[in-house]
Structure 1
Amino acid sequence: MDFSNSALPAHYGLNFTPTFHSRIPANISHTASTLPQPFVVVVTGAGKGLGYHISLEYARAGCSALAISSRTESDLDKLEGEIASISKKNVAAGGGREIEVLKVVADVQSDADVARLEQEVRAKWGRVDVVIANAGVISAYITPSSPEESNLPRGIVQDGDWARVLDINLNGVWRVSKAFVPLLAQTKDGPQTIIASCSMAAHSVVSDLTPIAYNVSKAAVMRLMECVANDHRKEGVQAFALHPGAVVTPQTKNHAGNNWTGILADDEGLAGAFCVWLSKQKRAWLSGRFVSCNWDVEELEKKKDEIVKGDLLKYRMVV
């Protein structure tokens, strides 16, 4: 299978807008995003990779508070230092108060840890504006028979990491959503947004590039966000399943095999900039849908009526 952008099936939605971005465009740069105050953001899986850079983009955009969560305290300490540096620059440039940071060592596989994260956020600020359910993994590597072959398992027989991947990628999002939806619902003066890390792999039925456990977990996350949006829209809560681009992270940097050549080409901050745009105000017309950080937001907004009328960017069985 050819995994280039132009060769992916249309139903993947990679080119849903005519313009495809691999770098942060001016229209979602932090210089174009003004966040209301107060603005409290929670990011899970913040210690490394996409969660780390999503946190930094919210800091650059001037959120008032960030709760960062990870399994590794030293990673959170490093992120806190970077947020503090950004915060001081914001203040020096006339951007208001310094950003408050709450560090919570927590594992999304633990009901108790996720509940404690919510309790600490509630106790400190009494509100939450945006929750980024970002923590995720891919199946453990196998030993390929040749350098041309992927070191990721192919098919259901090779993939022995099913339970762990589903527990983190799907159940972790469920735990975070279950814990934070009540606080989101109570924060009536905010965007009341939850964004779950999804993937174009949600649309894949082959494991040539990403293992089946990963694909299935992301497909389920997409449906879960639609359910959250549907069940809690009367409370003001909106939910999105986000494709965060193809990025070199600690999770992806050691992927091997010809299928991966040239794929990991997106900017590490692009997903964060898109999250800021997506969540800085209510976007009920997009709630419950799959979105990609590679899309151009101005072109996406022009398709609003088409999206709503056709109920696009959701799973539906063709009959």
Structure 2
Amino acid sequence: MNGTANDMQNNICVVTGAARGLGRCISETLALAGAARVYACDIDMTPADAWLSEHDNVTAVTLDVCDGDALSHLSARILAEHGRLDVLVNNAGITRDALLEKMTDTDWDRVLDVNLKGVFLMTQAMLPLMKLHQSGSIVSISSIVGTDGNIGQSNYGASKGGLITMTKGWAKELARGGAQIRANCIAPGFINTEMTQAVPQKVLDKMTARIPLGHLGEPTDIAQGVLFLASQRARYITGQVLKIDGGLVL
């Protein structure tokens, strides 16, 4: 979770899906890199109790990314407390895997609601805070499943692929009139999180054998990619998809 101490230059940041896993690591990385405030958001922030006390510049926010009223409230709060937003990290996402013939409408709708519509709603709610100063960085977490597909993940792949296309549209739309609002995606491969730790070892070994670098990625690998794209180091990068997958998809 190391980052250059001034990479965030006192930025105001929002991270969704922040209670654990990638979201936690991203939140902590931005906080350690000099963010003035990181609003760490999740539908249940209870798992974050153990680490929140370690960062006095991180604020826990319990919300559902599909709840428009909650998002409006957060936007108004940030405006009142800081008058701007510099970085939005759309990380919240879920899976409801099943083969095509067995996937239910409910599982399709829930994944698309959270992974795609939730990102749309969150970005729509936060954008006015970036437009106040015509600058900001939006980093959305997609997946290699969104670029290359995967068996049993029709809903997840559609949501993550749609996120990439939506981000490319934003990159064009939000830069109009000379604005410096950037939008990019990160597409992780197999990362060592609670989700992969629950996978049987035999399956995990097969997954790992497909990776040219020979091992799973760590949450810090993704968080460092987010830090780069969020910072001024990437000030001339927008509309791009950064794959962080150990060479799995080439």
The TM tier, using the shorter chain, reads 0.7 to 0.9
CA distance in structure 1 between the aligned counterparts of 2:143 and 2:230, rounded to whole angstroms: 19
Q: What TM-score do the two structures reach when normalised by structure 2?
A: 0.85
Deviation at 1:288, TM superposition (A): 1.1
CA distance in structure 1 between the aligned counterparts of 2:27 and 2:200, rounded to whole angstroms: 28
Q: How does 1:115-264 map to 2 (within 5 A)?
A: 115-139=72-96, 152-154=97-99, 156-160=100-104, 161-188=107-134, 192-207=136-151, 211-234=153-176, 235-256=179-200, 259-261=203-205, 262-263=207-208
- The residue aligned with 1:3 is none
CA distance in structure 2 between the aligned counterparts of 1:36 and 1:256, rounded to whole angstroms: 38
Task: Tell me if structure 1 keeps the 8 A contact 2:228–2:234.
Answer: no
Secondary structure of the 2:234 match is coil
CA distance in structure 1 between the aligned counterparts of 2:72 and 2:202, rounded to whole angstroms: 42
Say if 1:205 and 1:271 are closer, same or farther in 2 by CA, change over 3 A. closer
- The residue aligned with 2:67 is 110
Deviation at 1:47, TM superposition (A): 0.5
- The residue aligned with 1:51 is 23
Paired AA for residue 184 in structure 1: M
Deviating runs (4+, > 6 A) in structure 1? Answer: none
Deviation at 1:54, TM superposition (A): 0.4
Q: Deviations over 1:188-235 (max 9, x none)?
A: 4x5x0011110111122441xx51111111000000111111111123
Say if 1:115 and 1:251 are closer, same or farther in 2 by CA, change over 3 A. farther
- The residue aligned with 1:148 is none
Deviation at 1:285, TM superposition (A): 4.2
Which of the pair is proportionally richer in strand?
Answer: 2
CA distance in structure 1 between the aligned counterparts of 2:53 and 2:239, rounded to whole angstroms: 34
Gaps in structure 2 of 5+ consecutive residues: 209-214
- The residue aligned with 1:66 is 38
Secondary structure of the 2:161 match is helix
CA distance in structure 2 between the aligned counterparts of 1:166 and 1:63, rounded to whole angstroms: 31
Secondary structure of the 1:220 match is helix
- Corresponding position: 1:280 with 2:225: no
CA distance in structure 1 between the aligned counterparts of 2:55 and 2:190, rounded to whole angstroms: 24
Report the number of matched residues: 236
Task: Tell me if structure 1 keeps the 8 A contact 2:186–2:225.
Answer: no
CA distance in structure 2 between the aligned counterparts of 1:78 and 1:132, rounded to whole angstroms: 22
Task: Tell me if structure 1 keeps the 8 A contact 2:193–2:218.
Answer: no
CA distance in structure 2 between the aligned counterparts of 1:114 and 1:236, rounded to whole angstroms: 23
- The residue aligned with 1:30 is 3
More deviation in 280-289 or 120-129? 280-289
Larger radius of gyration: 1
Using CA pairs below 8 Å that are at least 6 residues apart, which structure has the higher relative contact order? 1
Paired AA for residue 288 in structure 1: G
Deviation at 1:138, TM superposition (A): 0.9
Task: Tell me if structure 1 keeps the 8 A contact 2:138–2:184.
Answer: yes
Q: How does 1:293-308 map to 2 (within 5 A)?
A: 293-294=244-245
Q: Deviations over 1:74-97 (max 9, x none)?
A: 23433421324xxxxxxxxxxxxx
Deviation at 1:125, TM superposition (A): 1.0
Please, what is the CA RMSD of the aligned residues?
2.4
Say if 1:252 and 1:108 are closer, same or farther in 2 by CA, change over 3 A. farther
Q: Deviations over 1:105-161 (max 9, x none)?
A: 10112111222222222221111110001000111xxxxxxxxxxxx422x222221
Task: Tell me if structure 2 keeps the 8 A contact 1:245–1:293.
Answer: yes
Gaps in structure 1 of 5+ consecutive residues: 1-23, 85-98, 140-151, 297-319
Deviation at 1:60, TM superposition (A): 1.8
Secondary structure of the 2:111 match is helix
